[in-house]
Structure formats: structure tokens, C-alpha cells
Structure 1
Amino acid sequence: MKVVPVREAIGMVLCHDITQIIPGKFKGVAFKKGHVIQGEDVDKLLDIGKRNIYVWDLKEGFLHENDAAMRMAKAAISNRIDLTLPKEGKVSLKAKQKGLLKINVKALDKINDIEDTMFATLHTDIVVESEMVVGGTRIIPLVTEETKVVQIEEICKKEGPVVEILPLKPMKVGVITTGSEIYTGRIKDKFGPVIIDKLEELGGCVEKQILVSDSVDMIKDAIDELLKLKVDMILATGGMSVDPDDVTPTGIKNAGGNIITYGAPTLPGAMFLMAYINDIPIMGLPGCVMYSKRTIFDLILPRVMAGEKIDKKSIRRLGHSGLCCNCDVCNFPNCSFGKW
């Protein structure tokens, strides 16, 4: 810290707040600590009575908080994220479009291990809207060694984007609704409307819905028909429990499905099935998807629509926080459900 004449302080960093008092009109901070003195600030400072001010003696090899935050933010993002201008040393990250937020948690931890720096984000694998703030970064002191920021830039370069947004693909979806009671018209299908609403929420649509009885052959034939229509995804609803006539998993397997998992460590959604046929994702949806507000389907669907290949590890790690609290007022995804 050093004292310099105001006229010589342009480009230097103010190291304390400067108060301005206008009798009967204003009393408050005119310039905040950390402000970089600009040419247009000189007259105002002189009017306040500041001929000399304390500034940081920013030595070579050190960065001001604003410059450090902007460099860290730029290094960490993909091209679907905008940055705000630094405000009080902080840069915020905002989504350019709706999509699936992906956080490289391993790289984020490495950044936050570096002294004097911080980087905070929303949780990975949630759907975010355009203009939503998804993260923020800054250094803790007013200035820090440039080597620390360079270290962060190297982490981001090596690990890839720390914060990115994957666009949701407008998928054409085939739906197979199983159950003799629906197939014969004894009861009305209530699964279809739920599926349609959840798909439309993410930009997808139902290309065709096929009603089948509890028959392995009918399920297999329905899958074959939907594959010929070149749908992007197939959802099979019902027939997912352990009763003798719940044969949806067998029908999917007989159609050539490579079953990744039958069963998941989530409630609601334990009887969920994930499979692929020639890279076409197929989900077996248990009955809870029809009547519960949020289930495993809400955790996996956005990831599939963002082009992510779901593996057994992806399902297994949902066990931690895989319990929905069934709150009276649902705030998903702003809750713990699915936040491993």
C-alpha cells in the first residue's frame, strides 16, 4: 500500500472505501475498495477533497480481483455460457440456452484446493433455463499471485470445461403401454399423458404410442415397429414388477435389448430398466412414474436427451440422495433428490 497524488493514480487499485457526503442529499460510498481508478474519477475525487489516496502497489506477477476472476471464469466455461462483468470481484456464469448443466466435479475440486481462489456452481445434471446463473468465481483477497490463476487455467485446459451446458435434442419417442386392462379398454391409459408432458417440457415429442397386452411377443413386435419408424428413444410403461404377468423386461431382451440395469437405487423408481438396441435408448418405466411427481425418470430423461450414454455406474451412484421426500410443494430440481 502506498500514497499517491490522485492525478497519478489512474489505473491503480483503491485499497479502502471512500465516502462522499452531500449535505441533505447523500452520504455513502463513492468508490469501493478494489476500484480501479479511471480518468473520469479524478475530478470527483478532488471534489470530495481527496488530493492523495491510498492505492495497492500492484507488483509484477500479481493480479487484481477483477482480472483474476475474469481469467478463471473464461478458462472454465464452454461456448454456451455467458460471463457477467466483474462486480465486487465476482464474475457470474449465465446459461445462454436451456440445457443440461454438466459440472466437472473433479476439476472443480482441484480449483478450490488452490489457496485464495473459489469457484461455486449449481449441481451437475440438472436442467437449467436460459439466463440462469449457474456458477460464480472470484479470489478471496483483493490481489493474488498470477501463478495461482495460471494453475487454474492449466487445470481447465487439461480437464476440459469445468462448467458446460449440453443442448437437449428434440427427440422423437416411441411409447409402448403394456397391460391387458388397458389393451382391452377396461381402463383408460394414464401413463401416456404423463410421458407426453415430461417429454414436451424438455422439447421432445411422442411419435407413436402402441398399446399391448402382457405378452412378450407383442412387446417385442412393438419395439420392432418403433425401430422401423426410426424413433430416437423408446419408453415401455408398466409390467416392470416381479408378478408372473409383468413381462416387459423379457420383451425388451427378446427384441435385442442390451440391458444395462434392471433395478435402480432410487425411490420412487426401484424397478427402472435401462437398455439399448443399436444405441437407441430404451427405458422400462415402473408404475410410480404415472402417479409420483418426480421419480428416477426425471433424473435420467434429461441426460438421455442431452446425448449421454447411461451406464451402470451412472445408475449406481444415484443411491446417495436417491430418496425423494415427496414434499407437499415440489421444488425439484432445487432439492436433494438425485444430487449425488
Structure 2
Amino acid sequence: MSHHVVALALPGVVAFDLSTIAQVFGAPDEHEYTFAVASADGRTVASSSGFSISEVSDFQELACADTIVIPGYRPYIRPDEAVVTALQVAHANGSRLVSVCTGAFALAATGLLDGLDATTHWHDAPMLQQQYPAIAVKPEVLYVDNGQLATSAGVAAGIDLCLHLVRRDCGHAIASRIARRMVVPPHRAGGQAQYIEPTPAPAAHDFAELTDWIIDRLDQPLTVADLAAHSHLSQRQLARRFAAETGQSPLQWMLHQRVLAARHLLESSDLSIDGIAQRTGLGSSSNLRRHMHRALGVTPSNYRDTFRDR
């Protein structure tokens, strides 16, 4: 018996999110899933791209769904209470609820994510955390699967989550078949963290001169004693005051800058991985791999393959 998937298109639905959900679950010549699109009132719904989507069901369609997927939408205001209630009832009756990108704001409005990990597009993650503090928002991951509730990061991460759900429902072979049809990898390496725009430390702080001095010498084996001597402070004074100014210890801050410098060289240079490790003071390719994986969830080679042409 086919698994019935309903995409709930809220006003301002992101067309890409909706179309990728349909691509995974709505292919007419595949029989593992049946697919429908519903809106809050069963009427035409405007997308965020300026065109409208017609011939949709109303939210009563949610009552017969095995899985309900909420694509991203803008502005991500709280849905009508009737829609929130319908989602809560569907979940209580056993339906799996899934959000893609900013669809997490609608799913969060049900209260069902309270106490759980969840994600959304990294740009909107701080707002989701602010509006719903009971949710543990994870901006660094591509998706979070809590079983009957699942959320994905932005844009293409919705494909990653949908294919993951297919693997859960039908097995690896069918998920791989759908991925080949869509010309996407069945599984992407890493998480959302590698796509988050690096935010440099603010220049206006008491240690601005010291941090500039460090960045000019990242290839050197600097110690806290070296930094303290340059600052004319004791090591204890430096550690306390530096952390108060930057939110990190001197060594944590320096490691972060080395990883940022490595990312820049991976994107923009032909240096080998070993060469980049030496240029940034990380010493060896194995050390660079360890710190890149810890920070971004990917290897240096994966990162270079993803961002080299940008």
C-alpha cells in the first residue's frame, strides 16, 4: 500500500522547496508514494516567487496523510489556528510531520518540537531560536530526524531529508533510484556549517592590535607566552581579558583563524593540503583534516570540491 505524502503550501510558499518535495514523492511512474498539495483553505496559494499554485486540496487532506511536509514560506508568520490544530491532530493520529527550510516556523507553532533538536536555514536559525526558546535549534546540520518529527535546513537540504525519509521507509535501493532520477547524490557529506558565511571577529576591541599581529603570523608556532609577551601582560591576565573581549581563549581564537585561513586557501589556491596546513600553522594534513571535520563536518578535500569554483 502506498505511503501518502501531503505538502502543506502556506501563503508565500517557497516554490523550490515545494517542487523538490514533489520530485521526491510525486513521480507518476513510481508507486511507493502518493502525493498531494494542500493549502489552508483549498484555494490558490501565492508563492514567494510571484506566481500562484492552483488545484490544491484543503487542509482536510492532512487527515489522510501518512507524512505531511511543510515547505519553506515567507514571511514565516504563525499559520491560522485551524491549520495548527490540524497538524497537531494529524500528529496525534500517527502522521509524520516534516518541515523544509523555514517551514520549521509553522511546525514549531504546534509546540511539538519543544524539547527537541530542530534546524532551519542557517540565516533564519537565530530567529527560530528566539521565537521558540524551548527548541534546541541546530544551525550546523542538514537535517534532524526525531522519528515522527523531522526538520531540514534550507533549499537543497530539503532534498537530503526527503531522500533520508525514503531510505527509512523503503530502503537504500529505492532512495538511490530516486536520487539518480533527480541527478543528486543519495547522501551529501558534511552539514550546513560549511555553507554558513564566516563572521570575522569585530575589529574594535582592546586586542585588535594583537589579533592583527597573530593573523600576520599564523604560520608560526605561537604560544600563549608569545602572545602575553607581545601584549606586555602575564599569561593569566591575557587569558582572562582576551576571553572577556572576544568570548574565546587566545588559543581557541587562533585555531578558529587558522581554520578560516585554510578555508580561504582551499577555495582560492592550488596549494596542496599539506601546504595549506603548513601555511596556516596547523602543521600537517591530518591535523587540518581533524580541525576541519570538527568545525564543519567535512574534510579539506570535500570542502575544496564544493567551493573551489565559487
Q: Between Structure 1 and Structure 2, whose CA radius of gyration is higher?
A: 1
TM-score for both structures, normalised by structure 1: 0.27
Kindly indicate which of the two structures has a greater share of residues assigned to strand: 1
Kindly indicate which of the two structures has a greater share of residues assigned to helix: 2
TM-score for both structures, normalised by structure 2: 0.30
